[in-house]
Structure 1
Amino acid sequence: MSLTVFKDWRDLPPSAQGAAVAIGAFDGVHRGHQAVIDAARAVATERGLPLGVVSFDPHPRRWFQPEAAPFRLMSHGQMERALADLSVDRLYRLPFDADMAALSDQAFALEVLGPDGIGIAHAAVGFDFTFGKGRSGSPEALARYGQTAGFTVSPVARVDDAHGLKLSSSAVREALKAGDMARATAILGRPFAIAGEVIHGDKRGRTISVPTLNIAIGDYMRPAYGVYATRTRLPDGRVVDGVASLGVRPMYPTDEPLLEVWLFDFDGDLYGQTVETGLVAFLRPEMTFDDLDALKVQIEADAAAARAALALSAGA
C-alpha cells in the first residue's frame, strides 16, 4: 500500500481517521524514530488499524527560531519515501503556524488529535515528547486527554543501540558536523543524503575532464565542509558511485555552500532533474591549490580514495 499524505487536521473525511499514529517531528526518520513508529505499528497490527505518522511543517524549531542556521536532515520527499519503506499508510503533515503554536496542550490533544480532527485511535510518542503552547504537555498528560478524546497512548523509552550510541536527531547533527559519517549512518540506518535539483555551475570542472553535478544545499544541515565518497540516486532509479566536494570552494568561492558531485563512469545530462546524493565517507577537509593542474591531481587522488571507501562500505 502506498503512503497517503494529509496536509491538515481540519475537515478530514471519516476514512482518514481511526489510525494508530506515531507523533513527532521525525526529521531524519532515524532508528530512534523508527522505534516510536514500531510501537504504533504494534497497536495498529493488534487492532487492525491503519498505521500513521503525525509530523509538522515547518519544523517547530524553524517556526520559533526563524533565524536559526539550517538544520534539516531530510526533505519532504525523503521523509515520505522513508515512511513508505517502513510500510506507514498515512502521513499527517500538519501546518505549524501561529494557530498551532498558540494551542494549549489540551486543545492540541482534543481538537487536533480528537474526533473532530485526525480522530486517532492510538498515539505512540517518545519518552521526552512535549506538545502545546510552552511545551507544557507530556506523554502522561496526553494519556489523560486521550481518555476524554477516545484514544490510547504508549510512551516509548529512550532507545540507544547495543553500543550505547544515542539515537537522536541532535546526535546525527553532531556526527555530520564532525564529518563522522559512520556514526551518522549508524544512527540514521542509512547514509545522510542531500536531494536537490542539478543546476548550472561555472563548468570549470569540464576543462579538466571532471564534469560535476552542482546541487544547492538549501535548508539542509551543513555537514563538515570537504570531500566525500558518495552514492547518487538518479531519477531513473540507478545508483552511481562518485566523489563530491561540499562547501564554499576556497579556491573559487561561492556565496552559498554547494554540493559538486563527480559521478564515476557516467555520461548524461541531468540539468533540471532532482538527484539524491548519499554522503558515505568523509575523505578530507576543503583545501586551496596553486592552479587547476594541482587541483586535478588532488581530484584524481580523491577519486581513488572514494572508490576504496565505497568498496569497503559495500562489503561491510
Structure 2
Amino acid sequence: MEIVHGWRDLVPSQRGAAAAVGAFDGVHRGHQAVIGAARQAAERLSAPLAVVTFEPHPRRWFQPEAAPFRLMSLAQMARAIDGLGVDRLHVLPFDAEMAAMTDEAFARDVLSGGLGLCHAAVGFDFTYGKGRTGSAEGLLRIGQDLGFSVSVTGRMDDASGLKLSSSAVREALAAGDMARATRILGRPFAIEGEVVHGDKRGRTIGVPTANVRMGDYMRPAYGVFATRTRLADGRWIDGVANLGVRPMFETPEPLLEVWLFDFTGDLYGQVVETRLIERLRGEMAFDSLDALKVQIDADAQAARAVLAAPA
C-alpha cells in the first residue's frame, strides 16, 4: 500500500481514487463498512481504492488539552487499512489551513482539486469544514457539482444491537470490557510503543517487564490484563500486563508493563505492539513484595488460562 502525505502537487498516479474519507480512529467494523462502500465504487469505476484521513486527529487540533483518546497510532491504522486491501492511504495534515477551510473549499480544493477523487465514501455522521458546517448529505450535492460521486453509509449495529463506533469502543475500554471492544473493532485493542527503561523492580522478583508509555492512547480501566505482544521481529508472545500507575510503587505517568512469558532478551528501544485480550482485575496495593509476587503468579496463571482458551 502506498502512503501519500499531503494533498498538493500530487503526481497523476497518486490521484483519481475512489476513497473512504474520515478520521477512522480504530478502523472498527463501522469504518470497514465505509471502506467497503469505497471498494464497490472503485470496482465500478475501475479506480484505485484509497482511504483519506487526517494527522493529527482533528479533535486533538481543536482540543489540545483534551484527555488522551486515540484508539490507534497512524502506523497501526496503516497496517489495518493495508490488511483490507486498500491501494493508497492519503494522510492529510490537519493544521490551521485545514481547520479554516469551508466545507465547499475542502471538497473543491482538497478532495477534487488536490486528490482528484472520482468517488468519496463517508459515514452518516461525517462532518467537515470550518465550524463542521459540511454534512454527508451536503457532500452529495457538492460532489455532483464537482464531478465526483458520493456514497453515505448509515449507522452500523451488529446483529445483537451493538453500536459500531469509536465512541462505543471508548466506552467499552473505560469499563474494562475488552471482549466488547474487540467485537466492535474486529480485533483486540492494542497499544504500540517503544520499550523504555523502568525502575527494574520486577527483575528483583523474577518478572522483568517491557514498559511502554501510553502517550495519546485512550486509557482503558486500569488493572491487570492477559496480553499478546508482537515483537519487532514479528513474533507474538503471550504475557500478563499491568496498565496504570501501580498503587504500591506509584509512577508519574501511566505505563503498560508487560511480563512476556518464557521470553529472554533485550527489547529496550524496540517498538512492540501489545493486545489487551482480557482484563483480569483492577489495580491493587500490597503490604509487601512477597504478597505482590504471590498475586503476580496468580495473575500469570489466570492469563495463561485465558490465552489457552479457544478463540
| TM-score, length basis structure 2 | 0.99
Pairwise CA distance, 1:195: 0.3
Tell me the SS of whatever aligns to 1:125. strand
Pairwise CA distance, 1:226: 0.4
Q: Does 1:50 align with 2:38?
A: no
Q: Which moved more, 1:25-34 or 1:138-147?
A: 138-147
Where does 1:194-209 land on structure 2 (aligned, <5 Å)? 194-209=191-206
1:165 to 149, 156, 162: 162
State the number of aligned residues.
311
Tell me the SS of whatever aligns to 2:163. coil
2:275 to 274, 278, 281: 278
Where does 1:119-268 land on structure 2 (aligned, <5 Å)? 119-268=116-265
Where structure 1 has 5 or more consecutive residues not aligned to the other structure, the ranges are: none
2:24 to 18, 23, 26: 26
2:59 to 58, 61, 80: 61
CA distance in 2: counterparts of 1:171 and 1:107, whole angstroms: 31
CA distance in 1: counterparts of 2:49 and 2:158, whole angstroms: 25
1:73-119 deviations in whole A, cap 9, x for unaligned?
A: 001110010010001111111011111111111001111111x2100
CA distance in 2: counterparts of 1:232 and 1:239, whole angstroms: 5
Q: Which residue of 2 aligns with 1:83?
A: 81
Where structure 2 has 5 or more consecutive residues not aligned to the other structure, the ranges are: none
CA distance in 2: counterparts of 1:111 and 1:194, whole angstroms: 35
CA distance in 1: counterparts of 2:190 and 2:178, whole angstroms: 11
Tell me the SS of whatever aligns to 2:120. strand
| TM-score, length basis structure 1 | 0.97
Tell me the SS of whatever aligns to 1:74. coil
Q: Does 1:308 align with 2:300?
A: no
2:11 to 10, 13, 17: 13
* Residue identity opposite 1:165 in structure 2: L
Q: Does 1:72 align with 2:64?
A: no
CA distance in 1: counterparts of 2:126 and 2:135, whole angstroms: 6
Tell me the SS of whatever aligns to 1:219. coil
1:149-197 deviations in whole A, cap 9, x for unaligned?
A: 2100000111110000000000000000100000000000000000011
CA distance in 1: counterparts of 2:191 and 2:107, whole angstroms: 34
CA distance in 2: counterparts of 1:199 and 1:148, whole angstroms: 52
* Residue identity opposite 2:289 in structure 1: L
Q: Does 1:112 align with 2:110?
A: yes
List 4+ stretches of structure 1 deviating above 6 A. none
CA distance in 2: counterparts of 1:62 and 1:199, whole angstroms: 25
* Residue identity opposite 1:102 in structure 2: A
Pairwise CA distance, 1:148: 2.2
Pairwise CA distance, 1:39: 0.3
Tell me the SS of whatever aligns to 1:282. strand
Tell me the SS of whatever aligns to 2:308. helix
CA distance in 1: counterparts of 2:144 and 2:172, whole angstroms: 40
Q: Which residue of 2 aligns with 1:92?
A: 90
